[in-house]
A and B are shown apart, each in its own frame.
Chain A
Amino acid sequence: MHGLAFDIAHLLAGGMVVVSFLLLYQVRLFALINVFALHSLVLVLAVGWQATIQEAHHLYVTAGIALIFKAILIPTALHRIVRRLGIHRTLEVVGGVGLNMLAGAALVALAILVMLPVTTTADVLAREDLAFALAVVLLGLWLMVIRHNAVSLVIGFMSLENGLVLAAAGARGMPLAVEISIAFSVLIALIVIGVFLFRIRERFDSVDMQAMDSFREGRRR
């Protein structure tokens, strides 16, 4: 039984990394948001499975919070924001897909290289989980680096946060109060970011970071 439990946990955590790769080359914003919802869904499954095999019932709450907020509420809200901003038809140039994939693969290799030797004393499940979680975090950061659109930045940030939750669930879970407060802080971050997106658009007629930089260019010094 332990073998199967481990394999499924491994599969789900690895699935998150794969979905993170999917995020990297989504050109359309709706597709990006949908893939993010999938990302969160896989996280929910992974955390739920951890709750089952660790018999840590508070992790079910974590999974529930992730399901409601990250898989349903936030994607829906982002959909609405994108539609209200009228940018659902814009394409975002991501750069060479192959190159991005290669960089992502290098990041995953780095995460495994770092995590596996450090955690030799921990149990196998936690080790794998931590390595995958670090990979998801690095991929999320990489997503934030390569994207211009503010909404994509938000997605990158949220997927990074998913990686953190995965790490916490693998390492026997955080205290529940911490998880709830993190979930709420992410939600509030979304609200603040949403408000700012509209404010930015009002001011600059765009949510493209490069366009904004060109404004600032003129005011420098």
Chain B
Amino acid sequence: MSLPLLLGLPVILLAVGIHAVTTSRRSHRSHWIYGATLIVCVIALGLALASLLMDPTPATLTLPLGLPWLGAHFRLDALAAFFLVVVNLGGAVASLFALGYGQHESAPGRVLPFFPAFLAGMNLVLLADDAFTFLFAWEFMSLSSWALVMAHHQEPANSRAGYLYLVMACFGTLALLLAFGLLAGSDGAYDFAAIRAGQATPGLAALALVLALIGAGSKAGLVPLHVWLPLAHPAAPSHVSALMSGVMTKVAVYGFVRIVFDLLGEPVAWWWGGLVLALGGVTAVLGVLYALMQHDLKRLLAYHTVENIGIIFIGLGLALAFQANQMYTSAALALTAALFHILNHSLFKSLLFLGAGAVLTATGERDMERLGGLIHPMPWTALAFLLGAAAISALPPLNGFVSEWLTFQAILLSPELPQWLLKFLAPAVGALLALSAALAAACFVKAFGITFLGRPRSPAAAQAQETDRYSLWALFILAGLCLLAGILPGLVVDSLAPVVGLLNGSARLVTQHDQPWLTLVPVADVKSSYNGLLVLLFMAFSGAVAAFLIHRLASSAVRRGPAWDCGFPEASPTTQYTAGSFAQPIRRVFGSVVFQARERVMMPPPGDLRPARFEVKLRDPIWEHGYAPIANAVVAASSRFNYLQYLTIRHYLSLVFGALVILLLGMALWR
């Protein structure tokens, strides 16, 4: 029942987008557009939630659209419903935020039409049930988000980001197209039901897995295909950044899950899981290391998206490895962890990007070295951002902790795997995960501390004002959800059960809601359990007792003395700790190897009045060794064949003729 309704909503979104084009000259239009997207997203969220919780049986629908002999197939099952919840929750909150934030948009005509179209594209990807519709919606999503990235195309960095995004999106879609082509076979059975029914040979299935990993991974930001992501996500307006980072990467993960877990069926070889696991581990650590080197607030957040995608893929890789060995209970745990992290990341990454957007409107700055002290003018934004930072750093009792803890629980089950390589690989990836979690915490101490604490480092930061109430509502809804998912994880795990059952041969985790005291017990009581509510109560209690004791026992007499100046007698804001100085120890430990970080101090000779300068040079190994050679090869090849542009018309005709004759000859001889 809800499938036709859910299909109608993207159509309404498209209509809203077209409406935005036609009315783009009227004032107050952004209220209308964002209000409409908010309402549509809330309805879609409600429908998807109802379908996930009440009736997760698949519903299908075929419309006479698209390819004439295929039609457009749509399907709403538990997996699609869960991702619809993620997408529309993000869409609704971003729309709410944009009700206030959109007022500051300098070029609303370039944002308003594409924002609803982007949401519609993501919704359609999730509902598609044949390869053509899927790829069409996927490209629609890519192109509309590209238009949003290019909204402020006058800045050269943005147009470069847009170009890179377009190239990578085309490349990823090509890989997906090939994957679907392999799966559909020679008789072109492009609807997912036929692909699901047909059994691919192991070699073909493995090739499809690799192609899906490339196609969906390039959209999700899997290292080494992530290069466009930290450039493109921050280039868009902040509510779009939140959607791209928090939601669109999840749609990419959905593509991977749909192909690998659903369409391919059972994994045939154990190395599938190992491959995904290893990529996930590398992505997590490299993502957070890149993030630590960044001082641009939005770009830092974008690199953290790369890290979190790595964490999600660790869970998915473990699930594949367990499934290949018929260990379905363990696979259910790993899948639950991955899906839970998908939800969590969409919550806190949207929250953080929206917070960064609020900071951007208040100060006009993204560079953390020019921010500081914002907790005084923007206390509520600071509180929400702090909650998001704590959640992404996996601190209990927030939601990030739960999903990363579940991932660790799945890793702890890996010694039961029979393959020795996996036995060693999984703990190694676990160590990488632990490292990335710790580094993420360090990174967010930096992000929050430098941005919101201390004193303003620029006049713009000093004159900041609290953001509007729509934005605050959006921030606090997300922060509240982060907290709720953290203290009631059992509820979330139970709602995820139909999805896990769908992907895992109907094996799922034990039902959590009859556990006493809302405890989360993933495997068995004896192993481990977690209770977010108790942790919260303990923290509240111990905090209250500590505050009480301090106030009670400490002396209330006023003392006078010199203020401690940290050894800096001059109290200028420039003497504060900076983002660069905060990151320096980590940069020295990791960056000197990974990024070949080189530091140089330029001390002018005595008598010279120039200030001393400190320079850091970072090199991106993936760009230099992976992408630059390809780009150079393309440039070299095109200049080599440039003379083809100056041929005479007879030469062109001869080329056409020769090509035709050679092809025909090949055809004649082949048979």
Question: Using a Cβ–Cβ cut-off of 8 Å, how many residues does chain B contribute to the interface with A?
Answer: 15
Interface assignment of A145: CB less than 8 Å from any CB of chain B: yes
Least CB distance from A130 to B in Å reads 13
Least CB distance from A66 to B in Å reads 24
Interface assignment of A123: CB less than 8 Å from any CB of chain B: no
Contact call A138/B661, Cβ cutoff below 8 A: yes
Residues of A within 8 A of B656 (CB): 141
- 22 CB contacts below 8 A, A to B, read A107-B661, A110-B664, A113-B668, A114-B668, A118-B667, A138-B660, A138-B664, A141-B653, A141-B656, A141-B660, A144-B653, A144-B657, A145-B653, A145-B654, A145-B657, A148-B650, A209-B648, A209-B649, A209-B650, A210-B648, A216-B646, A216-B648
Which among B653, B657, B664, B667 has the greatest number of chain A C-beta atoms within 10 A? B653
Partner of A145, one of B646, B650, B667, B671: B650
A66 to B646, CA, bound (A): 37
Residues of B within 8 A of A216 (CB): 646, 648
Residues of A within 8 A of B649 (CB): 153, 209, 213
Residues of A within 8 A of B650 (CB): 145, 148, 209
Contact call B657/A142, Cβ cutoff below 8 A: yes
Known: A141-B656, A141-B660. A114 touches B667 (CB 8 A): yes
* Residues of B participating in the A interface, judged by any CB pair closer than 8 Å: 646, 648-650, 653-654, 656-657, 660-661, 664-665, 667-668, 671
Residues of B within 8 A of A138 (CB): 660-661, 664
Contact call A110/B657, Cβ cutoff below 8 A: no
- In the complex, what residue of chain A is closest to B665 when comparing beta carbons? A110
Residues of B within 8 A of A86 (CB): none
* Residues of A participating in the B interface, judged by any CB pair closer than 8 Å: 107, 110-111, 113-114, 117-118, 138, 141-142, 144-145, 148, 153, 209-210, 213, 216, 220-221
Residues of B within 8 A of A144 (CB): 653, 657
Beyond A110-B664, A113-B668, A209-B648, 8 additional contacts (C-beta under 8 Å) are A118-B671, A141-B657, A145-B653, A145-B657, A148-B650, A153-B649, A220-B646, A221-B646
Least CB distance from A112 to B in Å reads 9
- In the complex, what residue of chain B is closest to A137 when comparing beta carbons? B660
Residues of A within 8 A of B660 (CB): 138, 141
Contact call A117/B671, Cβ cutoff below 8 A: yes
Residues of B within 8 A of A110 (CB): 661, 664-665, 668
Residues of B within 8 A of A142 (CB): 657
Nearest first, the 6 A-B pairs at minimum CB distance are A113-B668, A213-B648, A114-B668, A114-B664, A141-B657, A145-B653
A111 to B660, CA, bound (A): 11
A163 to B41, CA, bound (A): 57
A141 to B664, CA, bound (A): 14
Residues of B within 8 A of A220 (CB): 646
Residues of B within 8 A of A113 (CB): 668
A49 to B657, CA, bound (A): 31
Least CB distance from A133 to B in Å reads 13
- In the complex, what residue of chain B is closest to A147 when comparing beta carbons? B650
A209 to B652, CA, bound (A): 13
A216 to B652, CA, bound (A): 15
Least CB distance from B666 to A in Å reads 10
Least CB distance from B556 to A in Å reads 87
A213 to B668, CA, bound (A): 36
Least CB distance from B665 to A in Å reads 6
- In the complex, what residue of chain A is closest to B671 when comparing beta carbons? A117
Residues of A within 8 A of B667 (CB): 114, 118
Least CB distance from A142 to B in Å reads 7
Residues of B within 8 A of A107 (CB): 661
Residues of B within 8 A of A221 (CB): 646
Residues of B within 8 A of A141 (CB): 653, 656-657, 660
A86 to B656, CA, bound (A): 31
A216 to B646, CA, bound (A): 9
Residues of A within 8 A of B653 (CB): 141, 144-145
Residues of B within 8 A of A118 (CB): 667, 671
Least CB distance from A20 to B in Å reads 15
Residues of A within 8 A of B661 (CB): 107, 110, 138
A219 to B405, CA, bound (A): 69
A141 to B54, CA, bound (A): 66
- In the complex, what residue of chain B is closest to A146 when comparing beta carbons? B650
- In the complex, what residue of chain A is closest to B654 when comparing beta carbons? A145
A114 to B671, CA, bound (A): 9
Residues of A within 8 A of B646 (CB): 216, 220-221
Which among A110, A118, A153 has the greatest number of chain B C-beta atoms within 10 A? A110
Residues of A within 8 A of B657 (CB): 141-142, 144-145
A221 to B646, CA, bound (A): 9
Residues of B within 8 A of A145 (CB): 650, 653-654, 657
A220 to B665, CA, bound (A): 35
Least CB distance from A192 to B in Å reads 16
Least CB distance from A89 to B in Å reads 23
A107 to B668, CA, bound (A): 12
A170 to B467, CA, bound (A): 74
- In the complex, what residue of chain A is closest to B656 when comparing beta carbons? A141
Least CB distance from A156 to B in Å reads 9
Residues of A within 8 A of B668 (CB): 110, 113-114, 117
Least CB distance from A97 to B in Å reads 19
Residues of B within 8 A of A209 (CB): 648-650
Residues of A within 8 A of B654 (CB): 145
A117 to B664, CA, bound (A): 12
A145 to B648, CA, bound (A): 11
A106 to B166, CA, bound (A): 46
A118 to B653, CA, bound (A): 26
A107 to B660, CA, bound (A): 11
Least CB distance from A131 to B in Å reads 12
A148 to B648, CA, bound (A): 11
A148 to B649, CA, bound (A): 10
A42 to B240, CA, bound (A): 65
A20 to B653, CA, bound (A): 18
A110 to B664, CA, bound (A): 7
Least CB distance from A24 to B in Å reads 14
- In the complex, what residue of chain A is closest to B655 when comparing beta carbons? A145
A144 to B648, CA, bound (A): 13
A84 to B648, CA, bound (A): 26
Least CB distance from A28 to B in Å reads 20
A141 to B657, CA, bound (A): 7
Least CB distance from A144 to B in Å reads 5
Least CB distance from B663 to A in Å reads 9
Residues of A within 8 A of B664 (CB): 110-111, 114, 138
Residues of B within 8 A of A117 (CB): 668, 671
Least CB distance from B659 to A in Å reads 11
Residues of B within 8 A of A114 (CB): 664, 667-668
Residues of A within 8 A of B665 (CB): 110
Least CB distance from A17 to B in Å reads 16
Least CB distance from B541 to A in Å reads 81
A220 to B653, CA, bound (A): 20
A107 to B662, CA, bound (A): 11
A107 to B667, CA, bound (A): 14
Which among A117, A142, A145, A210 has the greatest number of chain B C-beta atoms within 10 A? A145
Which among B657, B661, B668 has the greatest number of chain A C-beta atoms within 10 A? B668
- In the complex, what residue of chain A is closest to B669 when comparing beta carbons? A113
- In the complex, what residue of chain A is closest to B666 when comparing beta carbons? A114
Least CB distance from B641 to A in Å reads 15
A93 to B671, CA, bound (A): 39
A141 to B654, CA, bound (A): 9
A76 to B646, CA, bound (A): 35
Residues of A within 8 A of B671 (CB): 117-118
Least CB distance from B588 to A in Å reads 51
Least CB distance from B162 to A in Å reads 32
A114 to B669, CA, bound (A): 8
A79 to B142, CA, bound (A): 55
